[in-house]
Structure 1
């Protein structure tokens, strides 16, 4: 699979995720895929378990916005923002592909925080709305 095809597969994955289509969202994964959540120390083994875990999430996202996708070869990174019941989670997904499907994914989730006043003179304050 070439990079154009991988990017199209990723775009389809995130569109399915945003629309709540759990089956289409998980077509991107190998049956033996591994997904890691380093902040909680969890490792999910297998597409079936990943689909089950996400399907049982008690706080379904109410908004989802991809900020950017970059990648080359078999390694792709997506930055996105998820809104869970009026709380934003800034998220990074690192996907490793094998034979056109994700074999390993690592996801990092970060809560927003207030910017300290001392650095205001050097920065632009931008909020990224969720669409």
Structure 2
């Protein structure tokens, strides 16, 4: 699998995630994939368990990819994941092995107000738009 194919697979994954297509969303993972959520101390083993953990999540979710960067077996996606209308800023790090994701780590960050002290230095941007 070359970089273009990996990038396309990642885009298909995030598009399926946004559409709540739980089958297509998890096609990217190896059967023995591992998903880590460092902030909650959770690790999920296996593609089916990863899929079930997302299926039983009760919140209405939307995914807006800001950018996908990477090469070879290491890829990073920056996205806005909105749960029930509340945005969370996410970095997903995916490690491929044999053409599928073997390990993913997701980091979440909550939005915060811009600091008035730097208002004269910044350009305000829509955080849901791609970079």
Which TM-score band (shorter chain)? over 0.9
- Report the Cα offset of residue 125 of structure 1: 1.6
2:101 is the alignment partner of 1:106: no
Deviations 1:16-75 (A, max 9, x none): 1111100100010001100100111111111011001000001021x3210000011000
Distance 1:101 1:39 in 2: 25
SS for the counterpart of 2:6 is helix
Conservation of the 8 A alpha-carbon contact between 2:66 and 2:128: no
Give the secondary structure class of the aligned counterpart of 2:112.
coil
Partner of 1:95: 94
Contact kept, 8 Å, 2:79 with 2:128, in 1: the verdict is no
- What are the residue-to-residue correspondences of 1:8-27 with 2, within 5 Å? 8-27=8-27
TM-score by length of 2: 0.94
Unaligned runs of 5+ in 2: none
Which ranges in structure 1 are unaligned for 5 or more consecutive residues? none
Q: Aligned to 1:16, what secondary structure does the other structure show?
A: helix
Alpha-carbon shift at residue 129 of structure 1 (Å) = 4.0
Aligned counterparts of 1:6 and 1:47: Cα–Cα separation in 2:
18
> Per the alignment, in what secondary structure is the counterpart of residue 23 of structure 1?
helix
Report the CA distance between 1:111 and its aligned residue: 0.7
CA distance in 1, matches of 2:78, 2:14: 11
Rounded to whole Å, the distance in 1 between the matches of 2:20 and 2:98 is: 26
